[in-house]
Amino acid sequence: MVAARRRKALSSASASVTRVVRRRDGTAPGLRKLPPDYEDLAAGRRDTLRPRRRPRGRIGDTRVAGMIAGVPNHEARRVYDARLERLRRALETGSEDELGQQLFDAVRVGLWRARSVVDFEAFAVHVLGIDHARANQLAAGAAASSNALLERLPDIAVAVWIRSEAALLERCPKASIDVRVEREQILIALALPLAPSLRVAESLASIGRSATGLARVLSEEEGTRDQERDENRESRDGNRPPRRRGPPR
**Confidence class of residue 32 from pLDDT cuts 50, 70 and 90?**
low
Domain coverage including residue 171 = 65-231
Mean pLDDT of the chain: 78
Phi-psi sector, 129: left (phi>0), alpha (psi -120 to 50), beta? left
Between residues 18 and 212, the one the model is more confident about:
212
Per-residue pLDDT at 249 exceeds 80: no
Residue 227: Cβ within 10 Å count: 13
Which 3-state string (H, E, C) describes 66-90?
A: CCCCCCCHHHHHHHHHHHHHHHHHH
User: So what's the pLDDT on residue 221?
Assistant: 54
Integer Cα distance of 142 and 134 in angstroms: 12
Integer Cα distance of 50 and 63 in angstroms: 35
User: So what's the pLDDT on residue 61?
Assistant: 45
> Is 8 among the domain residues?
no
> Is 142 among the domain residues?
yes
> Is 200 among the domain residues?
yes
> Is 163 among the domain residues?
yes
Q: What is the pLDDT of residues 139-154, one digit of tens each?
A: 999 999 989 999 999 8
Per-residue pLDDT at 56 exceeds 60: no
Q: How many domains is the chain built from?
A: 1
> Is 151 among the domain residues?
yes
The alpha carbon torsion through 110, 111, 116, 121 (nearest 10 deg) reads -70
Q: What is the pLDDT of residues 155-174, one digit of tens each?
A: 888 988 999 999 889 888 88
User: So what's the pLDDT on residue 247?
Assistant: 42
> Is 164 among the domain residues?
yes
**Confidence class of residue 245 from pLDDT cuts 50, 70 and 90?**
very low
> Is 44 among the domain residues?
no
> Is 43 among the domain residues?
no
